[in-house]
Amino acid sequence: MKLQPETSGDFATLAGRRALVTGASSGIGRSIALALAAGGADVIVHCRQSVAAAKQVAAECQAIGVRAETLSADLSQPAETGVLAEQAWKVWDGLDILVNNAGADLLTGPAAKLDYADKLQQLFAVDIRATVQLGRELGHRMKPAGGTILNIGWDQADRGMEGDSGELFATAKNAIMGFTRSLAVSLAPSVRVNCIAPGWIRTAWGEQASDVWQQRVIQETPLRRWGTPEDIAACARFLVSPAAAFITGQVIAVNGGAVR
């Protein structure tokens, strides 16, 4: 069944809103882009180098009945991040929604083979610095007319997980979660800023995880299943919509009830 944008009779409608979703060519970013389009928002699909995949996501958004464009930029580079902010703002003469979803893939990509220090640098460059740069640059541009910003954290960042990956991601995602709370105060009252902290979400790594990890996920999640990118996207759509008009500076866990 073909989706249609929801433009009336819905407090969570995004009709007329202009959105930039970073890292939207696959996974959680793709699902968020499609969810915003289903809500009626026009969507800019950002990617680093997966241009064909980004164009496919944009085509799926357009099929829903909204406008969609693609932009590519390497967010590990400050100059390219600045160019992305400028280009995205010009596409439709402004933005109403920014979703900072892009993050360094240290689990399944080439970066998985890097040593600890280099992984930390990758996380700092992409997850932290680019989120801060885009949030500040576009957030201050949004202030006169208002808008919403959504960042992506991690539900275990503030309670800890063992191992190199746990240490690395906790360092980066705690920074993002703290930045969210402060940026929300800086940009209030016209721009709302929130953060989703996903739990165990079945993205590329989850699909190939060993039986040990599959069992651990179920044991640690009271709802007894992996989360899906669509679970995150549903929350994202709500948080950037008028239905969440009194919510800002919050970090919201979407993790099936995990509390370990």
Number of separate domains in the chain: 1
Tokens for 195, please give them: 């953060």
- pLDDT in the model for residue 7: 44
- pLDDT in the model for residue 11: 62
Residue 195 lies in a domain: yes
- pLDDT in the model for residue 10: 60
Helices then strands (H, E): number in the chain? 9, 7
From the centroid of its chain, how far is CA 35? 12
> What is the chain's pLDDT, residue by residue, as a tens digit (260 residues)?
455 554 444 667 999 999 999 999 999 999 999 999 999 999 999 999 999 999 999 999 999 999 999 999 999 999 999 999 999 999 999 999 999 999 998 888 788 889 999 999 999 999 999 999 999 999 999 999 999 999 999 988 888 878 888 899 999 999 999 999 999 999 999 999 999 999 888 776 767 778 887 888 788 888 888 889 999 999 999 999 999 999 999 999 999 888 76
Residue 51 lies in a domain: yes
- pLDDT in the model for residue 1: 45
Angstrom distance (rounded) from CA 24 to CA 102: 7
Q: Please name which of 234, 225, 173 lies closest in space to residue 200, comparing C-alpha atoms.
A: 225
Tell me if 42 sits within 8 A of 240, measured CB to CB.
Answer: no
- pLDDT in the model for residue 8: 45
- pLDDT in the model for residue 106: 83
- pLDDT in the model for residue 4: 53
Polymer length of the chain: 260
- pLDDT in the model for residue 3: 54
Residue 194 lies in a domain: yes
Residue 95 lies in a domain: yes
Tell me if 139 sits within 8 A of 187, measured CB to CB.
Answer: yes
Other C-beta atoms lying within 10 Å of the C-beta of residue 230: 14
Strands (E) in 17-127, as ranges, are 18-21, 42-47, 68-72, 97-100
Residue 49 lies in a domain: yes
CATH number at residue 202: 3.40.50.720
Residue 1 lies in a domain: no
Non-local CB neighbours of 174 within 8 Å, separated by 6+ positions = 153, 157, 158
- pLDDT in the model for residue 138: 98
Residue 201 lies in a domain: yes
Domain that holds residue 206: 18-254
User: Do β-strands 97-100 and 147-152 pair in parallel, antiparallel, or remain unpaired?
Assistant: parallel
Residue 7 lies in a domain: no
In angstroms, how far is the first alpha carbon of the chain from the final one? 40
Amino acid found at 154: W
Angstrom distance (rounded) from CA 260 to CA 255: 11
pTM: 0.91
- pLDDT in the model for residue 260: 60
Non-local CB neighbours of 200 within 8 Å, separated by 6+ positions = 206, 217, 220, 221, 226, 227, 255, 256, 258
